[in-house]
Amino acid sequence: MHSGIILSQTYEVWDGAALLAGETDGRGFDFENVAYTFRETVEKIRSGGFVYASCSHGAPAWLSTETYVDYRTGDEETKSLHPGRDARSQKYWAKACRAAGVWA
């Protein structure tokens, strides 16, 4: 049994061809199933720029960043932060989102 909030961070990268096709193969995990303390989770949300909630009703299933555009290559990247599916992570995820100011 873990004593923290389990988090995973995903990314999506869209190049010009992917934008035209409407689909990208450039997606994956930056990290997966890592335990964070409550304080670390709030800081990760704030410092990582996770400002977009996956939904407007109830605790968000995930949070996403604004799209970062690499003006050299034209690639666009978005990161998303996902809580673990276990009850503890879900409970404290909602509280961390509220503490970070991204969910009322």
**What local confidence, expressed as pLDDT, does residue 103 receive?**
85
pTM across the whole model: 0.90
pLDDT digits (tens, 9 = 90+) for 3-52: 799 999 999 999 888 888 888 889 999 999 999 999 999 999 999 999 99
The range of the structural domain enclosing residue 20 comes to 5-100
Both structure tokens of 85:
């599916």
pLDDT confidence of residue 88: 96
What are the tens digits of pLDDT across the range 60-95? 999 999 999 999 988 999 999 999 999 999 999 999
Give residue for tokens 């879900």.
90
Exposed/middle/buried for 89, CB within 10 Å: 0-12, 13-18, 19+? buried
Residue 38: its H or E element:
helix 38-47
In sequence order, what E strands does 1-104 have? 5-14, 26-36, 50-53, 63-65, 68-69, 76-83
CA–centroid distance for 17 within its chain? 24
Locate 58 and state its tokens.
């109830």
| Total count of domains within the chain | 1
